Amino acid sequence: MSFSDYSTALVTGASTGMGAAIAERLAKRGLTVHALARNEDRLKELADKTGAVPHVVDLTDTAALTAAVGNLQVDVLVNCAGVSRPGNILDSSESDIDELVDVNLRGLLQLTRLVLPGMVERDLGHVINVSSIAGTYNFYGHTVYHATKAAVHQVSRQLRNDTVGKRIRVTEICPGRVETEIFGRNMGGTPEAMEEAWKTYYEGYESLTTDDIVNAMDYAIETPRHVNVGMLELMPTFQVPGGLTFDRR
């Protein structure tokens, strides 16, 4: 299969970062792109730039999600929406845990539940889930974020079983550090926080860019129809996922 096999895409988290870049590439490839996010102003900018169809929806509101996209015929589903929080389970709040689980996992599952049956009926489709190396490696970070991304990793594998015998492809894109707004939002989301996050996490580093993620997606879709690219792990050359810490008392 290639882009010529598909006509319609649905991208979550499409108002910024990887989601916006993915939506733009899919539109350039000739697909009708339905862009889903909570930020109305940014979705409008994306729609004006790319011709994407904006859907201002909270991914955690299943009723609103169903009303917005439940009847769409989708050939390419890109589950890109995600949130993070600083810290770990020792200092997580109730709302931290609920939001990460609801956005990163529950929303993904509900949307996939709505879209996948149509792909199976048409015997055609591609699901692309954006996870994280936090789901496959252990390192210091938010425990709940790691848990939700590990679940996305497993869901991506399981969907291949759920659709066996159908021409449905499932790809997990598993990136390391990408230059997006995520750290700035974790630090408060103000212009000052964004600047501080850039200096702390990106300045002087050779991080991945959103183009790197988009090119990975492009490759997975463009492979021949008998090839399923199951997982693409993308890491900056100077970033390693492992490391052993031995705390001496």
Q: How many helices (H) and strands (E) does the chain have?
A: 9, 7
Tokens standing for 177? 């550090």
Distance CA 9, CA 188 (A): 32
Annotation marks residue 219 as catalytic = no
Answer whether 74's CB lies under 8 Å from 119's CB: yes
> Which helix (H) or strand (E) segment is 161 a member of?
helix 143-162
Contacts of 129 (CB under 8 A, 6+ apart): 79, 108, 152, 155, 156, 170, 171, 172, 173
Tell me the torsion sign for CA atoms 137, 97, 196, 212.
Answer: positive
Give, in degrees to the nearest 5, the angle at Cα 8 between 6 and 12.
Answer: 125
Contacts of 191 (CB under 8 A, 6+ apart): none
Alpha helical stretches, state H, 29-101: 40-50, 62-69, 94-101
Which position among 145, 201, 205, 219 bears the catalytic label? Answer: 145
- DSSP letter at 105 equals I
Question: 131: which DSSP letter?
Answer: -
Catalytically active residues, by annotation: 145
